[in-house]
Structure 1
Amino acid sequence: MGQHASAACRLAFALALVPLAVHAQGKLGYVDMKRLLDNAPQVQAGRERLQREFAGRDMALKRDEARLAELKTDFERNGALLSKADADTKKREIDALERSVKRTRDELRGELKSRSDQELDKSWQEINNTVVDYAREQGLDLVVPSPVVYADPRIDITDRVLERLRREFQTRQANP
């Protein structure tokens, strides 16, 4: 099943529940999860942690890439002037560095993806719990997450949940 089909099923299910909740005089809320994930300080702090965690290895990779580009340029310029043995040695050096750079880049990319997923899962759980807590405190019977076709701004709780996430984050920062 494609992504759009899955989204369409979720939307159809959510829309099927709305008349039931409205009929039962329930209170509804809407939350833009993408906006929360883009703006929650918990997510931003996770991104900053990852940047710090991977900064040294990223700089080392960039140095190796620059060195590889320099070797290639030098070989293109001066390769014809080298003896066959020296040219072969230089070519093997370039090939070895190229393989090393590719391997390092792939490993770094894979590890970054894995760590990003871990950080997002942690933030997602906290965001979801905050939405649920807010909904219960406000007596909401149903909170519909984005994407939706339309949500009246009166039932959009995104800003209030985001503010709560910011307060919780600041409290945690002040009391580690």
Structure 2
Amino acid sequence: MRWMIVVVLAGLSCFPLSGSAQTRIGFVNAERVTRESAPAVRAFKRLEREFEKRQTELRKLETGLQSVQSQLERNSVSLSEADRRTREREFLDLSREFQRKDRAFREDYAQRQNEELIGIQDLANRVISQIAERERYDLILQEAVYANPEIDITEKVLKALAEVK
């Protein structure tokens, strides 16, 4: 499949598009855009603030769980059988609660992260289209095995995204 793309691109460079004498191709590193652009940085800070309280709660729960476990290990010899089973049950209940909350946290965070990434990608695609039209590019790629640095317009995209509020 990839070799077909290379063949098509090689063919494109030989034939003029839209009446021009030379095909103009650009490349954008989409990973850098979704990691380094101003909207991406703002989105990830927003996510951190949004999930900070739940993450702190999880850390406290985990610390409590570790404390109960260490107490159980230290005192298991001196406890009666009934007390030991009660504490083990409490530990297992607390452990299940932690695992449930941790799983819910991770799922919610992943969903919100995906929502933010979709928004960033949509915005980046609009900016890339504007640059392509303004600078008369015939083709802009966002995925490539190799891209010559001379056709890389990622910095232009990052600068344009920095101006978007």
Q: TM-score, normalised by structure 2?
A: 0.90
* Alpha-carbon distance between aligned partners in 1 of 2:13 and 2:53, rounded to the nearest angstrom: 52
Q: Secondary structure, in 3 states, of the residue corresponding to 1:150?
A: coil
What is the aligned residue count?
160
The 1:118–1:91 alpha-carbon spacing in structure 2 relative to 1, beyond 3 Å, is same
> CA shift at 1:49, angstroms?
0.8
Partner of 2:118: 121
* 1:15-63: CA deviation from partner (whole Å, max 9, x where unpaired): 5134324420221111111111121111111111111111101111110
Tell me, yes or no, if the aligned pair for 1:32 and 1:158 is still in contact at 8 Å. Answer: yes
The equivalent position to 2:73 in structure 1, one of 70, 73, 76, is 76
Task: After TM superposition, list the pairs within 5 Å mapping 1:103-142 onto structure 2.
Answer: 103-142=100-139
Q: Secondary structure, in 3 states, of the residue corresponding to 2:140?
A: strand
Q: Secondary structure, in 3 states, of the residue corresponding to 1:59?
A: helix
Shifted more, 29-38 versus 93-102: the winner is 29-38
Shifted more, 66-75 versus 9-18: the winner is 9-18
Q: TM-score, normalised by structure 1?
A: 0.85
Q: Secondary structure, in 3 states, of the residue corresponding to 2:47?
A: helix
Flag the structure with higher helix content: 1
Partner of 1:33: 30
Identity over the aligned pairs, expressed in percent? 29
Unaligned 5+ runs, structure 1: 1-8
2:52 is equivalent to residue 60 of structure 1: no
> CA shift at 1:14, angstroms?
5.5
> CA shift at 1:101, angstroms?
0.3
Tell me, yes or no, if the aligned pair for 2:27 and 2:147 is still in contact at 8 Å. Answer: no
The 1:15–1:148 alpha-carbon spacing in structure 2 relative to 1, beyond 3 Å, is farther
* Alpha-carbon distance between aligned partners in 1 of 2:125 and 2:79, rounded to the nearest angstrom: 64
Unaligned 5+ runs, structure 2: 17-21
> CA shift at 1:156, angstroms?
1.5
